[in-house]
Structure 1
Amino acid sequence: MAFSALKPIPEHEAIILIAESDAMTLNLAKLKLNQLFFLSSVWRCSHPDCTAYPYSKGAIFCRLVQRPLWILILILGVLNLLTVAWQCLLYLLVNDIELFVFPGERPSMFSNWSTHFVTPVRCHSHNDYWRRIPLQSALAAGCISVEADVWSWGDELLVGHSRYTVLPGTLHSLYLDPLLKILDDHNAPSRTWPRVKTHGIAGVFANDPMQTLTLLVDFKTDGDQIWPLLTERLQSFRDKGYLTYFNGTDIIYRPVTVVANGDAPFNLITKSSTYRDIFYDAPLDNLTLPASPMGPTYNPSNSYYASADFRKSIGTLPLSRLSDDQLSTLRRQVRAAHDLGLKVRYWGNPTWPVGLRNYVWNMLVQEGVDVINTDDLRGTARQDWTSHHWWKW
């Protein structure tokens, strides 16, 4: 098969192709020059000396050190503004961030349990009445201890941090009524599967029905006035067997353990030697009181917690770490409380920065502190706690 010879490109067409190729190359070169000029303009210093002497030490320092530093500061500032804007957006759009993050209040319309998928953790909800939904927010986070400050007003027990900031509700409406309803629902017999009495009374947590919930009542006024009001309002829990109590010889743990501190009258708590269902919050840093002929002053028959202010008993952490002396004090206090059969709690723990807070939390858990005092329910719920059961009866 014969092949025809290739025809040469006419001279005028070859000149046109070369011209087009040169034009494209020139355009690409101009584009690269424009890009380089733009980049160089970013780093170009506007100081007259740097412009007049571009290769001087001052101009080189300005281009290589000063300007990159300012750009880095600008980027960090923008990121910080974006973070603040995101937090503000969450605050404005989410009615209840805590319940938005935590499991829903009722995951199933066919279940009486409101704490499905909630794992109990050793957190104490400090000043729990400041939550958007007192008690419920703490239970949704898995806290096994909640705190309410109470003030006597006539025949009522008001809840609040001070006289001027009391809530519209009372201890009965904010805590006792909702808690009693939860326990009644959890212990209601089913038509198809009646509750087996030998299994005991169920608590508030579906994942651990035998976990007791501690209700810490802080007496803010005269304890002699609050005491009869509190004992009267606990009668419904007492009648249904929901309260942990001392029967004269042993502690019988039930779904709710009531602990009193603040101006709580220790003499009224220990008045009866055969029955007690309100326990004392003993001073952790002063457990070495002279023992009576009946034994130590603070013991499981009259006390449940042993608490102290972290800042006063342990001190500040200027180096963001516990010193050897502070760690020794912590271990000594924890050991003294556990030897008496009491559970340890510190309040006033560092809350910021978050890294320091988490370090203190981990150290407290590692050293055997039984509950972690917290104002940040979300942070506590996300913490990787050691998985084991606490205070079963």
Structure 2
Amino acid sequence: MTVKQRRKGLDKELWLEQRQRGRRKGHWYNCCIFGGISGLCILALLLALNLVLVLATFIWSSDIDTYLQNWGRPGSGTEGLAWYPTDFTRDVLPIPCHSHNDYWRRVPLFSALRAGCISVEPDVWLFDNELYIGHNTASLQRNRTFQSLYVNPLVEILEQQNPQTDFYNGTGHGVFDVDPGQTLTLLIDVKTGGAETWPWVLKQLEPLRERGWLTFVQEGERHIRPVTVVGTGNTPFDVLTANSIYRDAFFDAPLETMWESRLASTDWPPGTVPPSSDPLDSEPDPDDTPLNSSTSGNKDLGQGLSGTTPESEFTPLNSYYASVSWGASVGRIWRGRLSPKQMRIIRGQIRGAHRRGLKVRYWDLPAWPLGLRNHIWDVLIREGVDILNVDDLRSASKMAW
């Protein structure tokens, strides 16, 4: 074999080897490309499946109002506005939420109970010796009364929760089957003159009173029962507390007057400054200091002020809630988060109310944007607020915030 032929053979072998190497490179390149595309397709399929499942939960999830979709229809047995479904709260978990403007619900009282709210709020107006329910006078109707929407349904609910049988003969079970010891707060917002309206409120509560279902104070001791009545709005503190022997209604005290430093109740020698490691518990700004109550007990001054004086004391024996408007007390929120000053106000007010044995409630909370609302709910619960004032029962009941 000549040198030329041998060189040609080597060149051919080298060419074949390079060709084979190129094929191997192309094979790995194709595997990477097609493998990546296949992986992305599988990921997209999984994401689409997840999206479908999420949408399905919204479509097929049971709305709290679907249980009551036939409310008030002829033949449904609810025409009298005093109907209670069997085992209505059997699977309902009570949650610390207050159904604000409860009468706006498609089914007042029952929608809130179905969501698990432990507090409801009817607005009452006195006309012609009758208490009507509504947000303003334009919304009042002759058949929507305090008794038809709240008192009578509560009587029927509690009668079913406390049946007289060979096995049970008590009156202590509340409206929730899961937690029969949980009291339901009936926060009555008096819209007309407090001194004239409040006696009618007490009178119309008699069906609950005579059955032993109202929380009461007697001989300096509070006894919790299935329903706790709290007066707010124009409810006069002086009229409410006039009976010092027996009371079965409580006041919605002014939270804005209760700000306290974390160290306010600690005993320190006079003239010394106690140490504090929390900057939010530093000396309050002038805007944080408690406000004075009304100087006149005869005027209808609204929540927490009607019938009070600067000397009024709020205790668990005369009050239940301590409430304040969020906007008037905490103020507007900027940049989606509470400022250190706002946190100081909240903590001081919660501290002062709890030291007095009262439950804290902020009303007029921001409802939008939803992210901001959820952030406020989360902060208030973490800081120790006892009851959330809500309009969106679905979101509150899911507690997904």
Name the TM-score, length of structure 1 as normaliser: 0.67
Quick check: 1:152–1:226 contact (8 Å CA) kept in 2?
A: yes
* Aligned-partner Cα distance in 2 for 1:112–1:189: 16
Cα distance in 1, alignment partners of residues 88 and 212 from structure 2: 21
Map 1:52-91 onto structure 2 (within 5 A): none
Superposed counterparts of 1:107-126, under 5 Å: 112-126=86-100
Deviations, residues 70-114 of structure 1 (Å, cap 9, x unaligned): xxxxxxxxxxxxxxxx9xx99xxx9x9542289999xxxxx9532
Query: Do structure 1's residue 373 and structure 2's residue 392 form an aligned pair?
Result: no
* Mapped contact 2:216–2:247 kept (Cα < 8 A): yes
Write the distance in 2 (CA, Å) between the matches of 1:101 and 1:328.
43
Matches within 5 A, 1:181-192: 181-190=156-165
Among 93, 99, 104, the residue aligned to 2:65: 99
- The residue aligned with 2:205 is 234
331, 336, 339: which one aligns with 2:352: 336
Task: Report the residue type matching 2:148 in the other structure.
Answer: S
**Whole-angstrom CA distance in 1 between matches of 2:388 and 2:98:** 6
- 8 Å Cα contact 1:103-1:118 kept in structure 2: no
Amino acid at match of 1:299: T
Given the superposition, is the C-alpha separation of residues 103 and 221 from structure 1 closer, same or farther in structure 2, using an over 3 Å criterion? closer
Letter in 1 for 2:182: Q
Distance 2:328 2:192 in 1: 23
Q: Is the 2:131–2:146 contact (alpha carbons within 8 Å) kept by the matching residues of 1? A: yes
Q: 1:180 aligns with which of 142, 155, 159?
A: 155
Return the alpha-carbon distance in structure 2 between the equivalents of residues 97 and 361 of structure 1. Answer: 22
**Structure number with larger C-alpha Rg:** 1
Higher helix share goes to which structure? 1
The equivalent of 1:130 in structure 2 is: 104
Alpha-carbon separation, structure 2, partners of 1:340 and 1:156: 35
Deviating above 3 A after TM superposition, structure 1's stretches of 4 or more consecutive aligned residues are 101-105, 287-290
Question: Where in structure 2 are the equivalents of 1:199-278 lying within 5 Å?
Answer: 201-278=172-249
Deviation at 1:248, TM superposition (A): 2.5
Q: Which amino acid aligns with 1:364?
A: L
The corresponding residue for 1:325 is: 341
Provide the secondary structure at the position in 2 that maps to 1:379.
helix
Name the CA shift for 1:247/1:112 in 2 (closer, same or farther; >3 Å).
farther
Partner residue in 1 for 2:128: 154
Q: CA deviation at 1:342?
A: 0.6
1:101 to 1:333, Cα distance in 2 relative to 1, 3 A: farther
Q: Where in structure 2 are the equivalents of 1:1-80 lying within 5 Å? A: none
Shift of 1:165: 1.4
1:75 corresponds to which residue? none
Query: Alpha-carbon deviations, 1:153-205, whole Å to 9, x = none?
Result: 11110011111112441000011100110001110123xx52154xx610000
**Counterpart in 2 of 1:195?**
168
1:312 maps to 2:278:
no
Contact conserved, 1:103 with 1:117, CA < 8 A, in 2?
no
Please give the secondary structure, in 2, of the residue aligned with 1:216: strand
1 CA distance for matches of 2:253 and 2:370? 29
Q: How far apart are the structure 2 equivalents of 1:272 and 1:341?
A: 21
Q: Distance in 2 between matches of 1:250 and 1:122?
A: 24
Letter in structure 1 aligned against 2:252: D
Separation in 2 of the partners of 1:101 and 1:187? 23
Letter in 1 for 2:223: I
CA contact (8 A) 2:132 2:146 kept: yes
The residue type paired with residue 167 of structure 2 is P
1:281-339, CA deviations, whole angstroms, 9 ceiling, x for partnerless residues?
0111024569x9xx961111111000001111011111111110000100000001001
- Alpha-carbon spacing, 1:366–1:104, altered in 2? closer, same or farther (3 Å): farther
How far residue 384 of structure 1 moved from its aligned partner, in angstroms, is: 4.9
* Counterpart Cα distance in 2 of 1:102 and 1:359: 31
Give the 3-state SS of the residue equivalent to 1:117 in structure 2: coil
Q: Is the 1:113–1:186 Cα contact (8 Å) retained in structure 2?
A: no
1:348 to 364, 373, 396: 364
Taking the aligned partners of 1:299 and 1:112, their CA distance within structure 2 comes to 38
Instruction: Give the equivalent residue in structure 2 for 1:303.
Output: 319
Query: In the alignment, residue 220 of structure 2 is paired with which amino acid?
Result: T
State which of 366, 377, 385 in structure 2 corresponds to 1:361: 377
Distance, in Å, in 2 between the alignment partners of 1:270 and 1:338 is: 21
3-state SS, counterpart of residue 243 of structure 1 = coil
**Helix, strand or coil: the match of 1:194?**
coil
Structure 1 unpaired stretches of 5+: 1-85, 106-110, 386-393
